[in-house]
Amino acid sequence: MHILEAVILLMVLVVVSNVIDHFIPAIPVSLIQVGLGLGLALVLKVSIPLETDWFLLLFVAPLLFNDGRRFPKRELWQLRGPILANAIVLVFLTTLLGGLLFHVLIPTMPFSVSFALAAILSPTDPVAVQSISQRANLPESVLHIVSGESLINDASGLIAFKYAIAATVTGIFSIKAATIDFFYISIMGFVSGIIVIAIILILENWLYRQGINDVIFSTVLRVTTPFVVYLIAEELFHASGVIAVVAAGIVFHFYGTAPDRSQPELTLVSEKTWDIIIYTLNGIVFLILGIELPIATTNVIENDKINTFSAFGLSFVAWLILLAIRVIWIYGYQSVSRLRTKKTHPEVKKQMASFKAALLAGLSGVRGAVTMAGVLSIPAVVSNGQPFPSRSLALFVAASVIIISLVVATVMLPLISENKAPLLTRANFSGDDDLDAGADENDDHTHYISEDEAQLYIMKLAVQRIEEERRPNNQKEAYDLILDYQFLIRRLELKLQNKKEMASIISDELALRRVALRGERSAIQKLFDEKQISKETYLVSNERLQRLERQMIHSIGRKVRMGRGSIQQMIRLKNKFSLWLIQRKSQTDITDELALVQREQAKGAIKALSDYFARDDIDNNRFDSQSVYHLIIHYRNQIELAKEHSKRQIKDHTMQYQHLRIKALAAEREGVQVLLEQGHIDWSMAAHLRQYINYSETVLIMDYQNAD
């Protein structure tokens, strides 16, 4: 498959996987993507030649840069010591202890290969770690340390893996040379990342002062930053590009949004651009993992000397070893931290170290992109031309551990965690502050209303403001806008109602629509009887009305039982064809008549509804007020649409619509402030609602500019 076709196919599957995740939220989208990639490889025989260098540059560099620039500033600085210790010590502890145990578990696997396998399995998915750790209600310090460790351990894991692979390939390993090399590539990678990002920020600031402040230009400059940092660190300084992009991301997080340079539009556009890039790259990473699974497992499955079930059993034990190391480390840290706090602040009663919390944090060790990139880079041969020892088994074990970590976390977390929310990984994390908001979940916010209820309130305020601003010269635009709001209000109300109430509302609404349809049909018949419209207009209008009626019946789940036989179907097709010919031949002649029909239909429907509500045997209180209001507004809108407007009037009405929209948005913003001041929502939800209003206002401004 050509590379262009492969890229398009992968992007389509990223979209498909997230659609599937919407309907099956219990399964992480990353696991769905792995399954789709596996199906692609098995069914369509798709293969993607994976080179580690370009994979690290194209995928790992932007992912880690994005992780670094989004890590909380305060926690990163306050806990920098423990975070770095965890990111380095825990990785090398996993590499050494895990490597020794892997060799005991698989005696045929050389020590260097065992160490390489343990090293590449040590990095974890930072978003998975953070979401699961917060779900476990870990102490805040433990939460941020575990999250920070997962951010930086990618770099140390790849470095340890690199040396273990080099020792296997060359057969030579010098502790002194490895130590010197390690400190050089680590320190130089860190320094080069800081230097390059500092130069880029200075350059951006200088360009801004020179008047080169185009938002698209600045966004492209920011998006290319991690690639530039990685390439300079790797090619110019021969240091770790992975550490460089992490350091650059952290520095950018601290200094990349200085008030003297920042622009609201630039921040908005660049952040959404990053969301799109990370969304796409994350999905493609796990799709490639699924595609590469057959390559990683085929040799073991087809090898008569290795039993496939035994190999999978070894993989499960390897995952247990990694889990045990991680759980013991986190539990030990909690214990030491508790003792240290009691000594320094004996009056403070600290939470006891929780094995359950440590287990949940251990289960958060979901393996992903970095593990896959590294394990698939294992060379096929060593320096003397001999096959790389135990390569097939190492690939199989690594691939299996990735899948096991995802599956076990998905299955076990709902069983042992109080929070039943689905597992988040990089693949379905949009970059919003949802995880940070979770820190406040322990507070008593039971009096807060939901976001849907808040949106319902502010939208009703907007409709009320539009009604207040409605005048004879802006009727059409007012009804257009109210109708738009009514659709959103209706959707929210149905979402908030229980099934029994919803069924009752839908049943009553159906009854009202039937009354209105009878009024429309009577109006058409009256026009035809009084010879105000031609037979062609009469047929066209009745066909439209019948089509609307069929759509209404179908929308409530009833089957349309008409035209089952071939004769009836032929008659219906003949009638439709005749109507099409009439419309085609007489389009200009019946246009005015159709406008008259539309106006009289709407008036007839409103009159029929009015007469229906005036009946003594009808209890008006049982009807949902929003349903009635929505129906009346719909028909009033139809009356206004039937009126003729000149081009000048159309332009004037466009301005009227925009003016009303601005008034409505102002009412929404006032509603958010009222809810906040009255204590019905918190600051986080208020910010989210205001952000939505700001987006709507931005789109309105763009429409106004495009209209000019």
Residue 592 and residue 506 in one domain: yes
Tokens representing 26 are 């219990």
Report the alpha-carbon distance of residue 288 to residue 272 in Å, rounded.
24
Max mean pLDDT range (355-369, 522-536, 541-555): 522-536
Report the alpha-carbon distance of residue 644 to residue 596 in Å, rounded.
11
Domain boundary pick from 613, 644, 675: 644
Max mean pLDDT range (74-83, 290-299, 553-562): 290-299
Task: Work out how many domains the chain is built from and give that number.
Answer: 3
Report the alpha-carbon distance of residue 588 to residue 441 in Å, rounded.
64
Residue 375 and residue 274 in one domain: yes
Binned at pLDDT 50, 70 and 90, residue 253 comes out as confident
For 641-652, give the secondary structure using H, E and C: HCCCCCHHHHHH
- Helical axes 308-344 vs 140-170, angle rounded to 10°: 130
Is 122:95 a contact under the CB 8 Å cutoff? yes
Is 522:604 a contact under the CB 8 Å cutoff? yes
Give the pLDDT confidence of 1-33 residue by residue, as tens digits. 577 888 899 999 999 998 998 888 777 777 888
Domain boundary pick from 619, 644, 669: 644
Contacts of 339 (CB under 8 A, 6+ apart): none
Q: Is residue 462 part of a domain?
A: yes
Alpha-carbon dihedral sign for residues 419, 423, 429, 431: positive
Binned at pLDDT 50, 70 and 90, residue 184 comes out as confident
Mean pLDDT of the region 304-308 = 71
Residue 339 and residue 430 in one domain: yes
Binned at pLDDT 50, 70 and 90, residue 81 comes out as low
pLDDT at 578 over 70: no
Binned at pLDDT 50, 70 and 90, residue 74 comes out as low
Q: Which of 29-43, 199-213, 623-637 has the lowest mean pLDDT?
A: 623-637
Q: Is residue 564 part of a domain?
A: yes
pLDDT of residue 487: 78
Q: Which of 94-103, 260-269, 556-565, 618-627 has the lowest mean pLDDT?
A: 556-565
pLDDT of residue 97: 93
Tokens representing 134 are 């917060």
- Block residue for tokens 């190492």: 394
Binned at pLDDT 50, 70 and 90, residue 442 comes out as very low
Mean pLDDT of the region 73-88 = 68
Binned at pLDDT 50, 70 and 90, residue 220 comes out as very high
Q: What share of the chain is helix, strand, coil (3-state, %, to 5)?
A: 80, 0, 20
pLDDT of residue 652: 60
pLDDT of residue 520: 87
Query: In the chain, what's the furthest Cα-to-Cα distance?
Result: 104
- Block residue for tokens 């439209």: 544
Tokens representing 83 are 């975070």
pLDDT of residue 698: 77
Contacts of 423 (CB under 8 A, 6+ apart): 28, 128, 131, 132, 366, 409, 410, 413
Q: Is residue 206 part of a domain?
A: yes
Residue 217 and residue 87 in one domain: yes
Other CB atoms within 10 A of residue 432 CB: 12
Binned at pLDDT 50, 70 and 90, residue 434 comes out as very low
Residue 248 and residue 267 in one domain: yes
pLDDT at 228 over 90: yes
Integer distance in angstroms from the first to the last C-alpha of the chain? 46
pLDDT of residue 708: 54
Report the alpha-carbon distance of residue 196 to residue 240 in Å, rounded.
13
Q: Which of 431-440, 590-599, 650-659, 668-677 has the lowest mean pLDDT?
A: 431-440
pLDDT at 190 over 70: yes
Residue 640 and residue 703 in one domain: no
pLDDT of residue 225: 95
**In the 8-state DSSP scheme, what is residue 449?**
P
pLDDT at 224 over 60: yes
Q: Which of 354-358, 517-521, 606-610 has the lowest mean pLDDT?
A: 354-358
Q: Is residue 69 part of a domain?
A: yes
Report the alpha-carbon distance of residue 58 to residue 224 in Å, rounded.
11
Give the pLDDT confidence of 638-650 residue by residue, as tens digits. 777 776 544 445 4
Q: CA torsion angle for 365, 367, 370, 376 (degrees, to 10)?
A: 150
pLDDT of residue 552: 63
pLDDT of residue 321: 93
Residue 212 and residue 230 in one domain: yes
Supply angle C-alpha 442, 446, 452, rounded to 5.
110
Q: Is residue 687 part of a domain?
A: yes
Distances (CA, A) of 499 to 409, 493, 505, 506, 529: 33, 12, 10, 10, 45
pLDDT of residue 387: 86
pLDDT of residue 317: 93
Q: Is residue 568 part of a domain?
A: yes
Binned at pLDDT 50, 70 and 90, residue 350 comes out as very low
Residue 183 and residue 129 in one domain: yes
pLDDT of residue 501: 66
Mean pLDDT of the region 613-639 = 77
Report the alpha-carbon distance of residue 420 to residue 200 in Å, rounded.
43
Buried b (16+ CB within 10 A) or exposed e, 643-660: eeeeeeeeeebeebbbeb
Binned at pLDDT 50, 70 and 90, residue 138 comes out as low
Indicate the burial class of 54 (C-beta count within 10 angstroms; 0-12, 13-18, 19 or more). exposed
pLDDT of residue 553: 59
pLDDT at 226 over 90: yes
Tokens representing 510 are 């159906």
Q: Which of 269-278, 337-346, 369-378, 686-695 has the lowest mean pLDDT?
A: 337-346
Mean pLDDT of the region 677-688 = 87
Print the domain residue range for 161. Answer: 47-280+307-381+406-435
pLDDT of residue 502: 64
Query: How many CA atoms within 13 Å lie on the side-chain side of 435?
Result: 27
Q: Is residue 34 part of a domain?
A: no
Mean pLDDT of the region 48-61 = 78
Domain boundary pick from 644, 664, 699: 644
Residue 92 and residue 119 in one domain: yes
Residue 261 and residue 324 in one domain: yes
pLDDT of residue 646: 41
Tokens representing 708 are 């000019």
Binned at pLDDT 50, 70 and 90, residue 73 comes out as low
Q: What is the pTM of this model?
A: 0.66
- Helical axes 566-585 vs 587-613, angle rounded to 10°: 120
Report the alpha-carbon distance of residue 657 to residue 680 in Å, rounded.
31
As a whole number, the mean pLDDT across the chain is 76
More confident residue, 222 or 4: 222
pLDDT of residue 204: 87
Residue 411 and residue 424 in one domain: yes
Report the alpha-carbon distance of residue 330 to residue 223 in Å, rounded.
35
pLDDT of residue 195: 95
pLDDT at 131 over 70: no
Residue 626 and residue 650 in one domain: no
Report the alpha-carbon distance of residue 241 to residue 669 in Å, rounded.
46
pLDDT at 75 over 60: yes
Report the alpha-carbon distance of residue 448 to residue 669 in Å, rounded.
18
pLDDT at 336 over 50: yes
Q: Is residue 598 part of a domain?
A: yes
3-state secondary structure of 139: coil
pLDDT of residue 559: 37
What percent of the chain stands above pLDDT 70? Answer: 75
Give the pLDDT confidence of 155-173 residue by residue, as tens digits. 678 778 888 888 888 877 7
